[in-house]
Amino acid sequence: MPKFVTSAASGFALISITVLSLALSACQAERKVVSTPSSVSSGKSAALQVMEQVAIAAHKCWFAAKDPAFRAYRMANELNSFSGRPRFLLVPAKNYEAKPLLVVQAEGASRRVEYFGPLLDDKLGGRITGDIARWSSGNNACASNA
């Protein structure tokens, strides 16, 4: 024979279930809003947009132009990174799998470009810094060779 719960306990259980249902439906509504696509017209993050701009200029000015200052290096693009941090690397030309000598990256909604690596301590450091600052600001001109 089934036991019946007292009316106070069943009332409390009914209220708890109702509150829990409302809370769950509120969470589900938030998820729908959060999963709405962003309003960026190109569908690209700000980080990817700026890194494409910088990488294209770096390739054009340093490598496609056959700049002798960059002859000892190769560029490895990682712009399609799923980590949300598009970047490119400069590595030794004869050892493509070596530790990067320069990392240039951006992250998230910011157009801020970060760069680091031992190549910045080399004689090219000032030129690299100037080029990246110019390219990330929207000016894709090549500097005179140093």
Dump pLDDT digits (tens) for 18-59: 433 433 333 332 221 112 223 344 567 888 889 999 999 999
Considering the chain, what is the average pLDDT of its residues? 75
pLDDT band of 86, cuts 50, 70, 90: very high
In angstroms, how far is CA 7 from the centroid of its own chain? 57
How many other C-beta atoms lie within 10 A of the C-beta of residue 128? Answer: 22
pTM of the model: 0.67
Q: What's residue 39's pLDDT?
A: 36
